[in-house]
Amino acid sequence: MPTHYIWLFLAIVTETLGTTALQASQQFTRLWPSVGVLCFYAMSFYFMSIALKFMPVGVVYAIWSGLGIVLIALIGFVLFGQKLDIAALLGLALIIGGILVIHLFSTSTSH
């Protein structure tokens, strides 16, 4: 696996942790989750900046935001009891499909 995908994966994981901490911060009224938001988002942007050395910004952002959406929807379901209806599940499946098309067929990034 090329190292830029590892940096992108770390950016996605830390962004997802930051969004989870944002929910837990209760509108920034709880100190430690609020600190987590800032730290995780800062790490995410740093890791994403490294991936941008090797991949186009549109591709990086599409994968970063798309997988972040899917992961945070799953975390919301598991940790926060948020329900996903059929339309939401279909939309998430389309996002995953789009990411797979970019990864498998795009010549904009190295594989």
83-103: pLDDT as tens digits: 999 999 999 999 999 999 998
Which pLDDT belongs to residue 2?
A: 86
Mean pLDDT of 47-51: 97
Mean pLDDT of 30-54: 97
Mean pLDDT of 58-78: 96
C-alpha angle with apex 43: 60 to 50, nearest 5 degrees?
Answer: 40
Altogether, the residues listed in the chain come to a count of: 111
| CA–CA separation, 83 and 77 (whole Å) | 6
Q: Write down the H helix ranges in 1-111.
A: 3-24, 31-51, 57-80, 86-105
Which pLDDT belongs to residue 110?
A: 64
Mean pLDDT score across all residues of the chain: 95
pTM of the model: 0.91
Q: Which residues contact 26 (CB under 8 A, 6 or more apart)?
A: 33
Mean pLDDT of 39-65: 96
Which pLDDT belongs to residue 111?
A: 56
Mean pLDDT of 33-37: 98
Query: Closest by alpha carbon to 65, among 86, 45, 81, 37?
Result: 45
